[in-house]
Structure 1
Amino acid sequence: MLDSLRDATKSWVATIFIALLVMSFAVWGIQDFLGAAPTTDIAKVAGTPISRERFERHYRDELRRIEQRTGQSIADRQARELGLDRQALTNLIDQIAMERVAVDLGLNVSQRSVLGYLKSIPNATDATGRINTQWLQFVLQESQMTEAQLLDTIRGGLLRDQVTNTILTGLNLPDGLASALNYARRERRTVEYLKLDPAILGNVPDLDEAGLKKYYADNGIRFRRPEYRAVSLLVLSPTELAKTATVSEDEIKRIYEAAKATYVVPEERKFEQIRFKDEAAARDGAERLARGEDFEAVALLQGMKTGETKIGTAKAGDSTIPRQAFETAVNVPTAPIKGPFGWIILRATEITPGSSKTLEDVRTEIRDRLAQDQAKTRIIELTREIEEALGAGTSLEEAAGKAKLTLRSIPAINAQGKGLQDEVIDGLPQDSEFLRLVQEGETGRDSEFLFAKDGSYYLYRVDKVIPASQPALEDIKDKVLLTWRQETLAAKLQERANEILDRAKKGESLKTIGESMGIAPLISNPPLARGGETPEFSRLLTQSVFAAKAGGIVSGPVSFGQSVIVAQVKAITTNEDPSEAQIAPLYTQRIRQSVAGDIAGSFTNWVRTAHPASIYEDRIQSSGSGAAEIR
């Protein structure tokens, strides 16, 4: 959650939100707001105004989440045409209303919880576990927030989590639902099938020159080259910078001494204990144990119940366990001990030896951690140095050279991250927004430093736009011919499959039909699973098989290649594999999560009713007035 904090520049602050849960709800009626408007509030919910700037930040964050989930970049215009801007506004309204519900319910988040969450964010702490102040200042500067605003935003996200977690606690599924869905999941189908390979078509002659030209003329749009862009890319990688970091021996020793306790693992023992009413009884018990009587039997003589002797595990130094208990061998009782609640005898039934790591053991680990810290600090310094140099008119090439950094030149890259020869370009920033930003970037303008998933920061510049173009047929003749051939073979194979379906529906068996075509029928082994896929049965074909009744006949493509399969359902069974004992609970949990999503959606609808939002259309669109209410 907390996604409302992200700035459209995607710099350090993006780290804060990458691990946070964000609940997306369905889009409800909100009129379009694509027109330009002054910077002002565009909506209000639960007494809280929503500024245009806050909405735009939230919208950009929602776009990034979708791109990360789908692995595809989305242009701003396309996103708005799909209504993603309206979804983002609804989502923001829901979050604010949910926080109001949390307050109404008396929920609260302590400052300690907020700081604890902040420390859990990648890059937020240094080697000693304290907040990295340089990192924090950079975050606040880039997001244009105060420290109090940052903490309030985190608190809001944690509040929303409290509400949703509360309403979903103790969720029980309707009677029979899990059983019915598990039964459907375990269903298996055995089919008899004919596999039609392209070879049965014989020789399919290629198009002549005239036919190829006509095919290209009719389908030229499919072969059109997209727009490409030449890009300069500067990446600041903590991994690479750490390789050149200088870490002194004194610093390694200081960190080791400061964290020495974390490198010492005390001995751990599992204990049993007998309680006695007085010293005399305890000494009598000790004598019995010394003679070899069973520990449990002596405990029963003292009125204890079977199994009551077990008191769990403890580590050396635990003040609740007498020191003597850590000085005996395994299964050797202690002498009688007078404890705060009476006389006792203990014994350790299991001993896990302690361990400690010397400076030599952890030297490399500490060195690497300090080098990473130096690299993170150096990244902050470099971003400021380079941005200042660029702001003073220095070229990106000169700024990178002065900082002894490598500026990468990418001659051509399209929206899918491929080059002119359709090759995948490796080594791009691990940021789902990168390709979209490059495609929308202004030529000759240096971007700000942006954050990537691996902790790197990058800056790019679009050097040239290579317009979309229609290649000459001669330049891609082989590709066009291959495409035509694949389509032709697929169409002819489907015609044969349709002929088989017609004959089967008239009563002929697949075996008889296969013999007439010189194709031996096959049996699926093992049986097909619902929603599954095999090297031959594609997911689409499997869906058709499970949609058919017993004896039904279907056709569809194989998973790989151009072959087509015609299949008849021969048997419907249930999987009784022993592994189901482990799988069924996991599947039930998935069902529960799905139901939880439905409940969360219903709760959100109630929140919207309790706290209706107003959208100020006159501040969103260039014309019109009044307010629209979302319910």
Structure 2
Amino acid sequence: MFRALGKSKIAFVLAILFGISLFFFKSGSRYSNLFNSDTVVAKVSGTPISTTKFNRTMQININQFNQMLGKKLDKDEIRAFQIQSLALGTLINNAVFEDEFKKNKYLIDEKVVAKITKKRFPNLYDKNNKLIENNLNAFLQNQGLKIDDLVNIIEYEIRADQFNKLFFDINYPSELNRKIENHNSHQREIEYILLNLNKIDLNISEMNNINKETKEVLEHYNNNINNYMTKEKRDISFIIIDKNNFTNQFKPSKESITSYYNKNKNMYLDPEKRDFLQFNFKKIEDANNFLNKVKNFELEKIKDFANNNNIIFNEFEKLSKEQILESLSNEIFNLKIGEISNIIETPLAKHILIVQNVTNQKQKSLSEVYKNIEKTLLTVELNNYFSDLKTNISSKILDGQNLKNIASDFKLKLDFLKNFENGSQELENDSVKNEILKNGFISNKDFVSDVIDFNENLSYIYNVDNIYSSKAINFDTIYEKVIEDFKFDKKKNFISDNFNNNIKNKNYLYELSSKYDQDIIKIEIQKNSKNFPDNFIKEIYANQLNENILFFDIENLYIAKINSIKIPNKDTSPAKELYLDSDLKNAFGSEIIKNKNISTNDELLNALLNQY
């Protein structure tokens, strides 16, 4: 795969236009396996959607929800908000158009893609247009992308942007734009009073005589019994299987590490590496010119000549043959130190190479690779044991064994969560137990769960031992709260009845102001006002001029009247352009998707979702 990617046109374009060495697209090992094959989560006809794209889109959506809600979403909330569906839907919508672009051979010149890549990510290059490898590695890891994903995303965005401009860049007529804008931005002048229900004394005689024996209070309790229930509690037993607990059992001996090294010395050869200069030219004439002028120069003089004549060149240090593009590596590894190569032609450039230094192949010593071999052997043994252990536990579960027997058979610790409510704050800092508790509240009693992977090192099983169902709190225990709630509802009903009887009364606000000694506030508001509850603003904009409005907001109530509606003058209000692009694009997409075959890898999607 590395070789194929290295020879792609986009690789050459990025390399030459930005002064990047062509070796870059083969040196996958230097970028944390960035070029490893991706698993596909979905396909739209012939267009795949990669795991890295899905994970990145998921994380973007999760971050947006975290910001909106002011907290970090947990696993259950991510599922509840269907964030995975939002992410996959976005990617499928894009893939529908991407597949259509491919089908109709709608292409963007690679040079355009390369230039925009450089423009969008200038921090990846130094002042000499040389790639800053650490910056690239950090950027891709931070974004959760591979290099081919990054190039594909940019290429698609450019094509989609140009396609949208050509076919969907249509807006409403200017006069209609102005009318819509004027309506959306109009203000309403209202008068209102704000009352707190707890501070309102209705002076109704029966309200003053309400007590525990009042028949209506008991009726309120019975009619609203769901408000007076205990929370369900559960006892849950569980076993956490921690891979790291078995590390000492499988730590390899010095003898086994030495034996492994002696049998696999070829794996620890440091290959021959070379330092070289790479000069790039667009025309063969320029390359010949340069070659003729510098062939007798010393190395430093060649560099000075190139700098003075604005000739692009790159300096590379300690690169092995496998890290350099094949068409260049063969020449580089046949040159002597200080020797100038012939002109090498590639699809987009002509190159001249000069080897500056050679680091010979070296056998790494045991001490150099000891820790690496130790980690390798430990990881293999530990992973195999952990996998076998989980398989054996699963077999015991299928055989009907309970957690106590499983813990005894495998020498594991059996733990308990006793009398816990769902979402208990007591476990908020223990993510594993918190997840066990949540799963325990969606499971049946006396049913041992499957082995559940929390992460690559932790798994667990659990059983719901007891369920203490939610039940009504005895009236004698909670009657004081019932009386408060009853009085509160009585006030709301009284005020609602009084309001309905005065809905056309133009002096209603003034009468209430006098009665409750509350000032009337006059204010102009807009739809996007943040000074009032959103639903109150919706009520104001849903009603007509001079109408009275009643709105309850928990313990507060607003009573308002609309005095005037102020629509901006069309000559003084600049109209924003309203585009039809999204409507047109949706309509177009709805048609072309009918001819697409869409498939999803549900097992992989569920596995990816479980990692959050």
TM-score by length of 1: 0.44
Specify which structure has the higher proportion of helix.
Answer: 2
Larger C-alpha radius of gyration, 1 or 2? 2
TM-score between the two structures when normalised by the length of structure 2: 0.45
